[in-house]
């Protein structure tokens, strides 16, 4: 079974200490989600070549209607788990 891209990206952001800026950007761009979905679909071939797996998964999240919401939920969950562990 393939892990959820939202969980993987959220975990990477939390481990790098970027959960707060990522959450701020996601919240700020929430109204633009439909447009970002179109942009993600248009740029996905380029992202696949340039950015590798993480960029491809980010493109999938942008292309998915509920992808931003899942990423926000995973960021909140990973942030809580990270705070509990240390």
Q: Strand, coil or helix: what is 82?
A: helix
pLDDT string in tens for the chain (86-residue length): 567 889 999 989 989 999 999 999 999 988 888 887 787 777 777 777 777 888 888 878 877 878 888 999 999 886 666 667 76
Q: What is the pTM of this model?
A: 0.75
Residue 3 φ then ψ, to 5°: -65, 155
Residue 2 DSSP SS3: coil
**Could you give the CA distance from residue 13 to residue 21 in angstroms, rounded to a whole number?**
9
Residue 39, Cβ density class (10 Å: 0-12 exposed, 13-18 middle, ≥19 buried): middle
């Amino acid at each position: 079974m393939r892990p959820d891209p939202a969980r993987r990206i959220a975990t990477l952001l939390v481990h790098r200490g970027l959960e707060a800026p990522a959450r701020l950007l996601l919240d700020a761009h929430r109204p633009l989600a439909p447009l970002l979905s179109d942009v993600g679909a248009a740029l996905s071939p380029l992202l696949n070549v340039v950015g590798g797996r993480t960029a491809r998964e980010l493109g999938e999240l942008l292309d998915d209607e509920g992808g931003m919401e899942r990423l926000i939920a995973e960021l909140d969950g990973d942030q809580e788990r990270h705070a509990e562990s240390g």
